[in-house]
Structure 1
Amino acid sequence: MRTIRFERQDTVGRIVLANPPYNRLDLQFSESLRQAVHDASQSDIRVLVVQAEGPHFSFGGEVREWPGKDVNWFHTFVAEVNLSYRAIEALRVPTIAAVQGVAFGGGLELALACDFIVAAEDAVFRCVEVTTGMLPIAGALQRLAERVGRGRASRFAMLGEPISGSLAGELGIATHVVPEAELAQATEALARKLALGPTKSYAATRKLLKVWSAGGVPAADATLLDITMDLFDTEDCTRGFLNTAKAFDLDIEPPEMLFNGR
């Protein structure tokens, strides 16, 4: 049975965790996720949603499979999980995680690999690794520090405190927070908005933010000119400038555009 699948509707792609109710990340997870991300990258989607079937996003790693393994196995496992999550970050389209119920451990890290997190108000995020004597193995610690600061990241990782969906929104971990009954609708609305937007501009924004994450403001400033010039001759940018110029001539607000992603 496939526990992860890629599907698409028009230009909206979806990676679905399909092992409810807990969607635990088992030994086949990283390979299956990489295949799903590969399928997404080979398609012409303009946005990707990561979502889960059942009441929970993911309880994290299937730790019951780990006892008795040696350190070489664990090294390979951690490396493969990180490769699969970084593959999501390497996509050239915006990514959204839709989180209901629990997102623990690797489930939280999967959500943090996305640009946007749409969370149910009563969702629960948690770094549970400390309860096993481990630390977050797929990037949660540094990505939390990037979003909420070192102090809060230390608190959540070292104390294993749960973070409600509402608090995640207040802290900037989640970008959108809604009642659980509205999660699917809110996610779909955001996905459709992004799918109709300037895809190449989104890709450039993601690229610049990655440079900033790695090297701070000086590195981003040094890269900004090249990234900007790559956008100038795109079809969307050309049409966008013309649309705005005409509006200025008429002394009106520029009308909303539908971009074609080129």
Structure 2
Amino acid sequence: MSDVVKLEQDGPLAVITFDSPPLNLFDDAVFEGFDRAVRAVAADPPRGLLIRAEGKVVSGGVDVGKVFDGMSPEAGGQLWDDLLDTIHVLDELPLPTVFAAHGLCLTAAFEIALACDVLLASERARFGLVEIVVGLTPSMGGPQRLAERAGPNRAKELIFTGELFDAATMERWGVVNRLYAPDAFEAESRAFAQKVANGPTKAHAATKRLVAAQKEGGARAADAIVAEVSGPLFATEDLQNAVRSFLTDGPGKATYEGR
């Protein structure tokens, strides 16, 4: 897929890995590699997606000298349109998406994390949208998605100050879903992603559609599409097999195939 952004398959789970040492800085090659990887996942969907990074940090942010220096307002607007298009492809994947942050996670990487369904963090991880250092606001969806998770005032505080926030604070604010000890983080985050990927994939896709409808128009908007979204689940092999398993062996024994 790319020298700096790798796409691999681990059973039902697709794994995108940032690997651009030493800081996994986002430059054109990383942005383009990530876009290709996300579109490859969308073109042939697995049953789950894990996004992670190699090295000491998740990412030190954008390579400012290579990406922003000398950029015109027109080119800047086009850059944000292109990057948000990638974020929207990620956001709309019909499968659980999990981001694993083992260390420092800044700017573009944090914005990608906020576009995922679940954000897992090592207790050592720190997060920041620090674009104020170059006179920018985060523009890959960070402010709005952070506001969805933590509320508008917390989002503005984090961005206005440009400060770094530890994983425990991010969990308390509702940004991080789960914390793991550093020495267990790789195994625990991979196991979590595998667990959701091995679940009823079509039901997970239905869950994502209902939650998205609620975000757009409230609970009644989600109610209005339940029959359309959840009715077809009765035709899936996963539901039919799970019901038989429930009746024969009790709950929690079903094996799902994503069909």
TM-score above 0.5: yes
- Root-mean-square deviation (CA, aligned residues, Å) is 1.6
Preserved CA contact (<8 Å) 1:119 1:165: yes
Q: Name the structure 1 match of 2:255.
A: 258
1:80 to 79, 82, 91: 82
Structure 1's consecutive aligned runs of 4 or more residues displaced over 4 angstroms after TM superposition are none
Give the structure 1 partner of residue 24 of structure 2: 23
Q: Secondary structure at the match of 1:28?
A: helix
**TM-score (normalizing by structure 1):** 0.92
Alpha-carbon contact 1:11-1:44 (below 8 Å) kept: no
Give 1:159's match in structure 2, choosing from 154, 161, 172: 161
- 2:148 paired with 1:133: no
Tell me whether 1:211 sits opposite 2:207 in the alignment. no
User: Partner amino acid for 1:46?
Assistant: R
Instruction: Output the CA distance in 2 between the equivalents of 1:90 and 1:235.
Output: 23
CA distance in 2, matches of 1:110, 1:227: 27
For each residue in 1:167-225, what CA deviation from the matched residue of structure 2 results, as whole angstroms up to 9, or x when unmatched? 11222211111122111111111122112210111111111111222222222122222
Q: Distance in 2 between matches of 1:36 and 1:107?
A: 15
Q: Which residue of 2 aligns with 1:91?
A: 93
Q: Deviations over 1:66-121 (max 9, x none)?
A: 12121111111111111112211121121111102211111110111111111011
Q: Where in structure 2 are there 5+ consecutive unaligned residues?
A: none
1:243–1:31 Cα change, 3 Å:
same
Aligned length, in residue pairs: 257
Shift of residue 2 of structure 1?
1.9
Deviations 1:227-251 (A, max 9, x none): 111212111112223333446xxxx
State whether residues 20 and 56 of structure 1, in contact with CA within 8 Å, keep that contact through their aligned partners in structure 2.
Answer: no
Q: Give the Cα–Cα distance (whole angstroms) in 2 for the partners of residues 217 and 183 of structure 1.
A: 35
Query: If the length of structure 2 is used for normalisation, what is the TM-score?
Result: 0.93
Alpha-carbon distance between aligned partners in 2 of 1:164 and 1:254, rounded to the nearest angstrom: 38
